[in-house]
Amino acid sequence: MEHSESKEHLSLLKGHLKRENPILEKVMQGFSELDRIGRRLGYLHKDQSFATRTPWWPLIAVLGTYSSGKSSFINSYLGFKLQATGTQAVDDKFTVICYSSDGQVHILPGKALDADPRFPLYRIGWAIEEAAPGEGQHVDAFLQLKTSPSEVLRGKILIDSPGFDADAKRTSTLRITDRIIDLSDLVLVFFDARHPETGSMRDTLQHLVKSTVQRKDATKFLYILNQMDVTAQEDNPEQVFAAWQRALAQQGLTAGQYFSIYNPDASVHIEDDEVRRRFEKKRQANLDEIMRRIEQVKVARAYRIVGLLEDSASTLSREVLPAARRFLVLWRRRVLLLDGLLVLLICLLLAGLGLALSAGAQQSGLSALSQLKPVQPWTSILLLLGLAGFLGLHFAFRSRSAEKVADRLLTQTDSKAAPQYRGLYTHNSRWWRTIFRRNPAGWNTRLSAKLEAFQERCNRFIQELNDSFTDPSGRREQQADGPMEASSAEPGSQREDPQRGP
């Protein structure tokens, strides 16, 4: 049942992406192939897919500290007040905001997100439960879904986060934040210009900045110093901005882009006309660039989905397979060691039994041979019982050793992938699998060749996306002009088009 639900989900996703960009339909076929490999290896369960790591629609995350103006920015972007605003914490939930054509604002519980694969944070309850046992069933305390009739939301989703200061649900909040960051095409990280010093934004720096420095997708982060209008009276925005950048640099941040803005509808009055014009010019230039990046999320998402396919194939070949082989080596060593100790113990017991029989024969004056002959049937039974005991202990040792080795390796694994790796280790240590296997269960040379070919496939997908978004030769423009230009060309003047070939 779960497997059929997963196939239905992927089929719906494939159709959705086809309408958005036909090239992505081909990418989904690649995900289906990777899923089959992942399930053969035991890395994926029947209801799991590499494709579910991305939401259906382009996703923009708005993160930051309390009172940094996140909600005010969202309201300004939407064109009406959807989110409550204030200088203190006004919402302690993650709010997923999507378009609705009925002209109404609807507020739906977190369950609407946790149970629907079309939305981000699908089955986030699992991650919450892992981070805070017992809390996974209370997703409504962490999430809510809001609909908005704003046309700017068509085809994309916003997520407004609670602040990252003191929070009783901090562990779960950060776990959800990690998931959101992974899923997002664009991440806007807001800071309060009224408190740009390091101390007041320590938690945000630690989690939203320091942990993202080494990410391959670090360029999707925009760091925004909001409410810069408060610096107008001193007329020192450059100094405040520089101090803020230094605070980020101290955390090792070198990627991403930096902006300073303020909301004109909630700004302080700037009496000096020249200062006001300078502030407005800077704010507008920064806002224009932020809006440009927001409108580009559809394009960025197409490339990100191809990148996700490439990363998934790389994960299988460069991380999952080596992990499975390492597990097999450590498991085999541990079982053989315990088997050796068990055989030694049995040999000592048999030797002791032999000495006892020999001593008894000498005391009774009988030869050892005559003493052993009557008990020959019992000796066979004892040997069979000993063999059965050995096999029983052997399989008990196998099972226990697999658990111990798995626990040891999982301490070195990213906690988000731990369930998949545990499934991988369990799959390779089933009772019927030999401990002398060198390659993981389900692995063969054909699968190896498939994974090696994924790099080239992803490169072709990227080239197709480039052709759909770019036109260096101007071929599409020529085609739009009609056949007149081609017919006016002199005979023999045709040239090769690098995008079409000879």
- DSSP sequence for 67-129: TSSHHHHHHHHHTS--S---SS----SEEEEEE-TTS---EEETHHHHT-TTSTTTTHHHHHH
**Could you give phi then psi for residue 91, rounded to 5 degrees?**
-155, 125
Domain residue spans of the chain: 1-53+308-354+393-468, 55-295
What are the DSSP E strand ranges found in 102-244?
107-109, 143-148, 157-160, 186-192, 221-226
Structure tokens given for 359: 């001593």
pLDDT tens for 399-457 read: 999 999 999 999 988 777 888 999 999 999 998 999 998 899 999 888 888 898 888 99
More confident residue, 174 or 341: 341
More confident residue, 387 or 132: 387
**Could you give phi then psi for residue 496, rounded to 5 degrees?**
-75, 135
More confident residue, 196 or 375: 196
CATH topology of domain 55-295: Rossmann fold (3.40.50)
Structure tokens given for 394: 């052997």
Spatial separation of the C-alpha atoms in residues 500 and 472, rounded to whole Å? 12
pLDDT at 288: 95
- For residue 189, give the 3-state DSSP assignment: strand
Spatial separation of the C-alpha atoms in residues 256 and 362, rounded to whole Å? 89
- Contact (CB, 8 A) for 338 and 397: yes
pLDDT tens for 6-24 read: 666 677 777 777 777 788 8
- For residue 501, give the 3-state DSSP assignment: strand
The β-bridge relationship of strands 221-226 and 186-192 is parallel
- For residue 346, give the 3-state DSSP assignment: helix
Confidence band of 116 (pLDDT split at 50, 70, 90) = confident
Structure tokens given for 467: 């052709």
Rounded mean pLDDT, 28-46: 91
Structure tokens given for 370: 């005559």
- The model carries a pTM of 0.71
Residue 169 makes CB contacts below 8 A (sequence gap 6+) with 92, 132, 135, 141, 142
